[in-house]
């Protein structure tokens, strides 16, 4: 089994057996952490962020900001930081060298070995990573909302999360995912990053990227797979509900639009920074750790508003030497419907650009809101039916996040009492 991840390092796994953990955590000082930090603890512990073994110290953050690398020169675009309330640090008398217990929603989560306690200019980080300090950028608002003190050091998970249905069947750690890929005998895996329910534009994006990744491989026995990796993080009003994103991607396969031997859906916990090109590099690293060999990047990948040129996230890979990043970017333009061709086609192929009908997320969304079934050319009927089923079952009647969904939804994972 190949467990080599980003930077050619062994996939990190820092999880303590329960019996040992129960004993160990009894005397530790407890520090509550935010949802984002909890999600990132889980990511670090299972190796999604390999080679990181904990939250960054000052040297790593400096290098990330200045050179887009860790202090040891490994490619890395986004700081991974643990911010903690000053009152907690003072009240609990936390100092360098301590081991502390990080808790989330009143449950034990992970042990942190405190190596550094420090402050860092949040706007310096914003400028370097997001390219702006404008409050209109959601990544800037997120950085502004951080506490002023950061703790750096290695973490060890003491309480593995229990993913709740329907997420449990999409949750694989990077090691489990690699085992799954090996089981299916995939030699190449092309990653699709998503926070959307798929319309036909997404479906063809994935299909085009599959052809590109499969390249010259013989076709008698298919050895290239598509990994749909759904990002699970904080939601905003109007986003698709998480349950629908994963289940509707699964439906594309169940309904046969993808063969079941070349398609897999999984989830990753991540709070989007909307950092455009830098986030594209981060997604590439993440999927390297999941065992992917290729990663598709469409128009305006991980962008927001007009902060980045739609193809900045393509161009950034030109500057990264091949030996620094082992996953191959598959750069994709737009898929659209062309009435002359009479089909969904690719902007790099179709010569009727003046007649094109672009996929409009906004238009499709407003149809779905009104419970109008879009034509099957732009939205698969099985996916529509699954979406409406999800709306009833999980979304309090809506496929999109409402106030009620945000307040009353079932958690994605629970932490059992230790």
Nearest CB to Zn ion, comparing residues 353 and 410: 353
Nearest CB to Zn ion, comparing residues 340 and 377: 340
Residue 352 lies near Zn ion (rule: CB under 5 A): yes
Are the beta carbons of 163 and 412 closer than 8 angstroms? yes
Q: Which stretch binds Zn ion (CB under 5 A): 60-68, 116-124, 200-208, 352-360?
A: 352-360
- Nearest approach, Cβ of residue 355 and Zn ion (Å): 7
Binding to Zn ion by CB under 5 A, coded x per residue (else -) over 63-102, reads ----------------------------------------
Determine the Cα–Cα distance for residues 121 and 127; give it in Å rounded to an integer: 10
DSSP classification of residue 178: H
Are the beta carbons of 307 and 97 closer than 8 angstroms? no
Are the beta carbons of 201 and 344 closer than 8 angstroms? yes
- Nearest approach, Cβ of residue 341 and Zn ion (Å): 3
- Nearest approach, Cβ of residue 12 and Zn ion (Å): 48
- Nearest approach, Cβ of residue 374 and Zn ion (Å): 20
- Nearest approach, Cβ of residue 346 and Zn ion (Å): 10
Residue 344 lies near Zn ion (rule: CB under 5 A): no
Q: Which stretch binds Zn ion (CB under 5 A): 87-95, 330-338, 393-401, 408-416?
A: 330-338
Nearest CB to Zn ion, comparing residues 237 and 340: 340
Nearest CB to Zn ion, comparing residues 272 and 341: 341
238: helix, strand or coil? coil
Determine the Cα–Cα distance for residues 249 and 257; give it in Å rounded to an integer: 10
Nearest CB to Zn ion, comparing residues 309 and 343: 343
Q: Which stretch binds Zn ion (CB under 5 A): 103-111, 187-195, 340-348, 393-401?
A: 340-348
> Tokens at residue 269, please?
């916990």
Contacts with Zn ion: how many residues (CB under 5 A)? 5
Cα 157 to chain centroid distance, Å, stands at: 20
Nearest to 111 by CA among 12, 52, 29, 40: 29
104: helix, strand or coil? strand
Q: Which residue is nearest to Zn ion (CB)?
A: 338
The contacts of residue 167 (CB under 8 Å, 6+ apart) are: 232, 242, 243, 246, 267, 412, 413
Residue 340 lies near Zn ion (rule: CB under 5 A): yes
Are the beta carbons of 100 and 114 closer than 8 angstroms? yes
Specify the DSSP element, H or E, that contains 394: helix 381-394
Q: Which stretch binds Zn ion (CB under 5 A): 58-66, 140-148, 185-193, 342-350?
A: 342-350
Determine the Cα–Cα distance for residues 64 and 55; give it in Å rounded to an integer: 13
Determine the Cα–Cα distance for residues 212 and 415; give it in Å rounded to an integer: 41
Residue 341 lies near Zn ion (rule: CB under 5 A): yes
Among 28, 37, 296, 350, binds Zn ion (CB under 5 A): 350
Task: List residues binding Zn ion (CB under 5 A).
Answer: 338, 340-341, 350, 352
């Amino acid at each position: 089994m190949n467990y080599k991840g980003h930077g050619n390092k062994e996939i990190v796994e820092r999880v303590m057996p329960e019996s040992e953990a129960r004993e160990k955590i009894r005397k530790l000082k407890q520090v509550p952490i935010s949802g984002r930090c909890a999600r990132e603890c889980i990511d670090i512990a299972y190796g999604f962020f390999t080679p990181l073994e904990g939250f960054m110290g000052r040297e790593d953050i400096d290098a990330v900001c200045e050179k887009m690398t860790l202090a040891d020169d490994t490619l890395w675009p986004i700081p991974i930081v643990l911010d903690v309330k000053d009152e907690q640090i003072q009240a609990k008398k936390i100092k360098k060298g301590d081991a502390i217990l990080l808790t989330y929603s009143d449950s034990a989560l992970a042990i942190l070995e405190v190596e550094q306690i420090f402050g860092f200019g949040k706007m310096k980080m914003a400028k370097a990573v997001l390219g702006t300090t404008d409050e209109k950028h959601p990544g800037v608002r997120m950085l502004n909302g951080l506490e002023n003190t950061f703790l750096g050091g290695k973490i060890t998970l003491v309480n593995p999360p229990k993913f709740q249905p329907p997420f449990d069947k999409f949750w694989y750690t990077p090691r489990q995912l690699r085992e799954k890929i090996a089981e299916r005998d995939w030699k190449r895996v092309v990653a699709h990053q998503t926070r959307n329910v798929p319309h036909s534009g997404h479906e063809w994006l994935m299909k085009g990227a599959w052809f590109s990744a499969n390249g010259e491989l013989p076709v008698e026995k298919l050895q290239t797979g598509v990994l749909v990796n759904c990002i699970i993080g904080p939601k905003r009003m109007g986003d698709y509900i998480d349950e629908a994103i994963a289940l509707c991607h699964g439906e594309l396969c169940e309904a046969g639009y993808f063969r079941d031997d070349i398609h897999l859906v999984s989830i990753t916990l991540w709070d989007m920074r909307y950092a455009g090109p830098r986030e594209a590099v981060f997604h590439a690293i993440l999927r390297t750790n999941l065992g992917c060999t290729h990663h598709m990047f469409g128009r305006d990948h991980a962008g927001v508003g007009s902060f980045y040129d739609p193809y900045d996230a393509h161009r950034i890979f030109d500057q990264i030497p091949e030996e620094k990043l082992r996953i191959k970017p598959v750069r994709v333009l737009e898929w659209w419907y062309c009435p002359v061709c009479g089909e969904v086609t690719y902007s790099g192929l179709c010569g009727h650009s003046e007649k094109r009908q672009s996929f409009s997320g906004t238009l499709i969304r407003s149809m779905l809101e009104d419970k109008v079934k879009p034509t099957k050319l732009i939205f698969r009927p099985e996916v529509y039916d699954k979406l409406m089923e999800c709306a009833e079952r999980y979304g309090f009647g809506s496929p999109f996040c409402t106030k009620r969904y945000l307040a009353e939804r079932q958690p994605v994972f629970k932490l059992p009492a230790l």
